[in-house]
């Protein structure tokens, strides 16, 4: 067996250019399947990790900083093969297409065959939380999902993309059954902020998913 097939723990990175990266690192530090969790700010750090989380924040700023740091193209290469999870702004960054972008548009990492709408729920004042049922990911107990200036997935662009969570209630002008989490092979995305809760079940799910992806390669 190759060394990667023998892995029982992984080194996780959290993109730390902007946004809520420390909260993700704190979550990962408590998981026994994570050997180390580090902030990723440069190419050397990116190349050292087995999987990556792209956190919430401001996707336009994140893209601009990544481009200035010379990380945008390496990130695009990374997500082609390595397990990656985008939360909120990170989901926008992973999407192949985004609507409601700021004037002039923005760069995306891409790789995930979805179209997202930025800031679907309005301003910070329209933030909300709700219970999501995701039994295949976290078991039967609903997950407390926090939405802050959140995007939604408006279109799934490939049969490879599997919907894993939908809103179960109407929020403002957003209809119930809106897609808020998907998985496409080694890529995972959520419109909400699991790192702002005390519930590490989704972080555990992602690390287990990453271990499975590595063992299959």
Q: Which residues are designated catalytic?
A: 88, 193, 195
Cα 197 to Cα 36, 68, 124, 145, 201: the distances in Å are 21, 32, 18, 8, 10
Do strands 95-99 and 10-15 pair parallel, antiparallel, or not at all (unpaired)? Answer: unpaired
d(CA 189, CA 175): 20
Residues with Cβ within 8 Å of residue 202, at least 6 apart in sequence: 137, 138, 143, 190, 194
d(CA 184, CA 94): 11
């Amino acid at each position: 067996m190759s060394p990667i097939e023998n892995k029982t723990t992984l080194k996780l990175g959290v993109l730390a250019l902007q946004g809520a990266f420390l909260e993700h690192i704190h979550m990962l530090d408590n998981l026994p399947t994570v050997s180390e969790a580090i902030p990723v700010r440069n190419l050397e750090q990116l190349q050292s990790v087995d999987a990556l989380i792209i956190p919430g924040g401001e996707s336009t700023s994140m893209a601009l900083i990544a481009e200035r740091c010379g990380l945008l193209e390496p990130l695009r290469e990374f997500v082609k093969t390595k397990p990656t999870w985008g939360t909120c702004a990170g989901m926008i960054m992973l999407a192949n297409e985004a609507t409601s972008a700021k004037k002039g548009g923005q760069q995306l990492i891409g790789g995930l065959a979805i179209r997202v709408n930025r800031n679907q729920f309005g301003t910070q004042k329209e933030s909300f939380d709700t219970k999501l049922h995701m039994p295949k990911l976290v078991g039967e107990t609903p997950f407390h999902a926090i939405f802050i200036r959140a995007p939604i997935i408006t279109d799934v662009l490939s049969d490879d993309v599997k919907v894993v969570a939908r809103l179960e209630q109407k929020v403002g002008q957003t209809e119930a059954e809106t897609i808020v989490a998907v998985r496409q092979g080694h890529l995972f995305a959520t419109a909400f902020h699991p790192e702002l809760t005390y519930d590490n079940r989704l972080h555990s799910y992602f690390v287990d998913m990453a271990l499975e992806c590595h063992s299959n390669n």
